[in-house]
Amino acid sequence: MKSFFDKLTASNNNEEETEDILEFNNSNENLSDIVEEEAKDGELSVDVFDEGDKIVLKTMVAGVDPDDLDISITRDAITIRGSRNEEREISQDAYYEKELYWGSFSRTIKLPTEIDIDNSVAIEKNGLLILNLPKVDKERKSSLKVK
């Protein structure tokens, strides 16, 4: 099981994936481009749950200015992007432990049901991002009058 840090930084020590990367590298592709691409963004940990008439998504974005968050939604998916920047440079030799993730992050979540984009709400409270995503009512009926 991946640790929180591994999930956040999208790092992985899985031997099978290492073998796949080596195989891919042997097929004349540039491995450094692939590793660089994967290392660009950390991955947010999320909780997604059903509250009857809405889907709720929660994720920690402590240390991120809400203006630096980019939340893109469609009827069936949501993407959260942002960046957590360290305020000052600290020499690597000065650290005893270094577990916090600094840099850009992104996460795309496929939603289990369609949502109403226009009535979705994002709230940031004490570093916790809460997205309230109302479900589309597929059973709702309406009548049209002919003019």
CATH number reported for the structural domain that contains residue 128 in this entry = 2.60.40.790
- Whether the Cβ atoms of residue 56 and residue 49 lie closer than 8 Å to each other: yes
Q: Is the pLDDT of residue 130 over 60?
A: yes
Q: Who contacts 113 (Cβ-Cβ below 8 Å, separation ≥6)?
A: 55, 76, 135, 136
Number of compact structural domains in the chain: 2
146 within some domain: no
Q: Is the pLDDT of residue 27 over 50?
A: no
For position 141, what pLDDT does the model report?
76
Q: How confident is the model at residue 10 (pLDDT cuts 50, 70, 90)?
A: low
Q: Which regions of the chain does DSSP assign to beta strands (E)?
A: 46-50, 54-60, 70-73, 77-84, 103-110, 121-125, 128-134
147 within some domain: no
Which residue range(s) make up the domain with 55?
A: 41-134
Nearest to 12 by CA among 33, 32, 42, 52: 42
For position 20, what pLDDT does the model report?
47
145 within some domain: no
- Quote the pTM value: 0.65
Same domain membership, residue 29 and residue 48: no
- Whether the Cβ atoms of residue 118 and residue 111 lie closer than 8 Å to each other: no
For CA atoms 80, 108, 59, 73, the dihedral sign is: positive
102 within some domain: yes
Same domain membership, residue 62 and residue 130: yes
For the chain, percent of residues with pLDDT exceeding 90: 43
Q: How confident is the model at residue 56 (pLDDT cuts 50, 70, 90)?
A: very high
Q: Is the pLDDT of residue 49 over 70?
A: yes
